[in-house]
A and B are shown apart, each in its own frame.
Chain A
């Protein structure tokens, strides 16, 4: 057999091994290249004045006192900026009915959330710019703010957008079978709960930052960008700044964490680009932490009324829910703020077999920071609705939580199949993952310990989740709805004259190890030592076109493109070598930088010598042989809308009934992400993801007062998981390769965040069971625990 399918016919040198990331050497010596590290000649700083009110009319802005201050170069108001930009609208055609008005980078007449930029000072330094902000006089007229999602839907609520008849942005109803009828049957036990999920945010340690430069002679705008999707931003800048796309270059070097926070269109970043173009000089904007809290997208914020029906033997008859989610005053551009709700509608109950499903999602405008896609979009909600309701139903009918899962999980030999909502599944392994989980966690032992400790007044709980994760998305995710978001990615592989490989890819690196796995794949498939592979990502001027990093697609899509390109180059090199060596290409191979005889392993010619013949002494080659020594391949998922990953996780917690504190004693995660390219990187992705999930489950919440003021917009007040509270996390794998690619890799980056909250909520409610109470609100803070216990009001 020939072709890329032969790649895994022989043992791999690098794929599947825990090779340390080469980028990390630089970062460990303080040699990172983050956006805020950049200083360009004549660079000035953009410092934004932001609305202190959640809802206010802007009657006037007086800049006369500020403009003459030391260091001030220029001041722009929302109206000034609006003249240089085509406004954007966060809707997609495959989410029919979603509405959101045109949005400008800075508020023009009305500010609609606390933190929305209203003016910007361009100044010699950030510090002088902050001084100048004090001298800008804005005449605001406050308008009642709408903050609570459910209140926003009442007929008396003030309208956030006058052109609409209500504050509803989008509504979708999904119905399969007949849930109401099925739940009404005599032998069905119905359980109902309201589950609340707090609003939280990404808190990337590096705040959002950009340096924009404009080179008039080339008519070129360069945006240095701490972000995930350079080509998407290139399109957006060109479109909304009325430029040719080829004259916009977006460059992402090192990024200090992204998690979905850095894949959206932020007004302050767009304004920075506009101003660089107007002033024809570099402009830097780095958000400070307060700005991050009130302008980075927030996530979650759901109130869900859920129900489930099960038979006495544990068979799930059906489930349903009504979800209200608040998204701030606009739907975020270009991905929209309805995708999270849509995911919940599509994914709830997806690991299980049942017939009746009725779900309604309501996406609601409110005067808070915009809500949009953050790591594991929708998954923590969807998994918690189904798995927390399943465990509650199990408690009611007196069944073990593992048994009820085993009864209802889609059998491992049922694939290909579909979920109740029509999601197409293949190559999943729910039962194998659950079995492996039980094996690594000693469930029986924990149950014994639980009983024993209850006698001592110590309340421990064990909670599970079985999950799916949307990864490797096809064009059906965004492209189909008109978004400028590529679902395909490209890879270019080039042999240089020294026999080294230069590879580039359109997926991007934010620390998850993308560059490392691309290097492993190229080195392995082509046949050179890994040290001789140099990787470039993140620059629209040099990398092939593609989507970047989102929806856990780097390894599965970017990796497959790299595999295909490396294989194509290898075939080309072998053809050239065959001519030079007067051999047959099928009798040759490449290993450790040498062309070798396939049969004997004997070294025939080094890649360096071959490249030198091609580049320097082409006269030694027949005239009709014109080797390129470069190959590019692109890859997109074609057979499925998404390639689903699955997993099973468990949490072991202890609830202190006196203080309300929840301690996570241990966490286990079993993940099936198909082929594991670098086990250590995958395991740490899972661990980092689980810890973000723990954050949402126990600590993190953007707390607003009724006026729409965020009360805890600092790192001292907004709690994030710190080392001392974090459990050890044991990770194991089941590997079911996806048949959609040669590489067989699915995504792994979001599962931890998607699954952990449900497992923890289940563990807490398992711990509280003997005390006859439960907690159905995240984050599960000590105060809420004590309230659930009836110890405080």
Chain B
């Protein structure tokens, strides 16, 4: 029999108390148990970055994190970025600049972008590229994503 455990966590401001198989990863838990399918899985071994979420305010690969490791934590996923991460300007700029095509990398790209901006980094294209180099995007060629991140930082700086 697969072992299970109780976990207690907050996801996008909502409290959950769930019974999960101990081997279930956090991505599967968010997607299949909570129905938060905005988090995507591209490789399941920590390489593509699609599954990146915030765990207690720090980015984490939800495919490499077990659901039980998220016990007593606060998780923020793409469904919460507009409200819980104040990222509506970043989202608007991604939209305006077409910084997504198929949208599969988008949850992880937004997470890495938010992290870059929150750390107070400059709108420096080279630095942005380095920062998002753990996130694979097959569609855009990355340029539009870098544009959207830099524009957001510039707009915030001039506010």
Contacts and interface: CB of A to CB of B under 8 A. Distances in A.
A720 interface: yes
Q: Chain A contact residues (Cβ within 8 angstroms of B): what range?
A: 35 or more
Interface stretch (B31-39, B54-62, B65-73, B151-159): B31-39
A24 B44 contact: no
A127 B23 contact: yes
B91 interface: yes
B138 A687 contact: no
Interface in A713-760: 714-716, 720, 722-724, 726, 728-729
Interface in A479-515: 510-513
Nearest to A752: B141
Contacts of A688: 101, 138-141
A512 to B, nearest CB: 6
Given A28-B91, A34-B37, A127-B21, A715 B141 contact: no
Given A723-B133, A723-B135, A691 B141 contact: yes
A255 interface: yes
A257 B139 contact: yes
Given A28-B106, A29-B82, A30-B107, A723 B142 contact: yes
A512 B104 contact: no
A423 to B, nearest CB: 29
B47 A257 contact: no
From DSSP, what is the main secondary structure of chain A's interface residues?
loop
A512 B43 contact: no
A256 B42 CA distance: 10
Nearest to A689: B141
Interface in B75-90: 77-79, 81-82
B101 to A, nearest CB: 3
A730 B45 CA distance: 34
A451 interface: no
A128 interface: yes
B9 interface: no
A205 B101 contact: no
B137 interface: yes
Contacts of A185: none
B61 to A, nearest CB: 12
Contacts of B37: 30, 32, 34, 36-37
B102 A511 contact: yes
Given A20-B96, A715-B136, A723 B107 contact: no
A205 B100 contact: no
Contacts of A206: 40, 42, 102, 104
Interface string A233-268: 000000000000000000000111111000000000
Interface of B: 1-2, 21, 23-24, 31-32, 35-45, 47-48, 50, 77-79, 81-82, 91, 94-98, 100-107, 110, 125, 128-130, 132-146
23 contacts: A21-B95, A21-B98, A24-B94, A27-B103, A30-B36, A30-B77, A34-B104, A36-B41, A70-B2, A128-B2, A202-B138, A205-B105, A255-B102, A289-B45, A511-B104, A680-B98, A684-B144, A688-B138, A691-B142, A714-B47, A720-B136, A723-B132, A723-B137
